[in-house]
């Protein structure tokens, strides 16, 4: 159940961050509301996740997967550049999360 809640927390955080891009500095109402709602839901779900998972494991996965997902969304849907360095960075973030988990973060 912990990983399911964590996946939902990541999805909410990614949705909130994506909405933030569309809020234009919190000058547009509905994207701003979506940003706040996404982050409130993300932190609520992350807090529930921490009841069954260790904080190091949960946060490493949440931050790493969320970062990688937002970077990919930026490249695919928001017109951000795609380069070898950016792709390598995403791969390194994911590798870091995997190494933390393999190295005893849980």
Q: What percent of the chain has pLDDT over 70?
A: 97
Asked if residue 52 has pLDDT above 90, the reply is yes
Q: Confidence band (pLDDT; 50, 70, 90) for 104?
A: low
Give 1-31 pLDDT, tens digit per residue.
889 999 999 999 999 999 999 999 999 999 9
Q: Residue 100 has what pLDDT?
A: 82
SS3 at position 75: helix
Give 71-88 pLDDT, tens digit per residue.
999 999 999 999 999 999
Whether residue 71 contacts residue 15, with contact meaning beta carbons closer than 8 Å, is answered with no
Asked if residue 106 has pLDDT above 90, the reply is no
Q: What whole-number distance in Å separates Cα of residue 38 and Cα of residue 17?
A: 8
**Rounded mean pLDDT of 40-69?**
95
Q: What whole-number distance in Å separates Cα of residue 32 and Cα of residue 24?
A: 8
Q: What whole-number distance in Å separates Cα of residue 33 and Cα of residue 53?
A: 30
Asked if residue 47 has pLDDT above 70, the reply is yes
What are the Cα distances from residue 99, in Å, to 2, 92, 95? Answer: 20, 10, 6
Q: Residue 102 has what pLDDT?
A: 82
């Amino acid at each position: 159940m912990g990983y399911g809640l964590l996946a939902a927390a990541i999805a909410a955080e990614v949705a909130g961050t994506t909405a933030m891009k569309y809020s234009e500095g919190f000058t547009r109402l509905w994207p701003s509301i979506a940003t706040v709602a996404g982050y409130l839901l993300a932190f609520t779900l992350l807090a529930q996740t921490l009841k069954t998972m260790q904080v190091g494991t949960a946060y490493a996965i949440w931050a790493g997967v969320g970062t990688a997902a937002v970077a990919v969304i930026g490249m695919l849907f928001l017109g951000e550049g795609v380069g070898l360095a950016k792709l390598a960075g995403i791969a390194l973030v994911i590798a870091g999360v995997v190494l933390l988990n393999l190295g005893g973060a849980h």
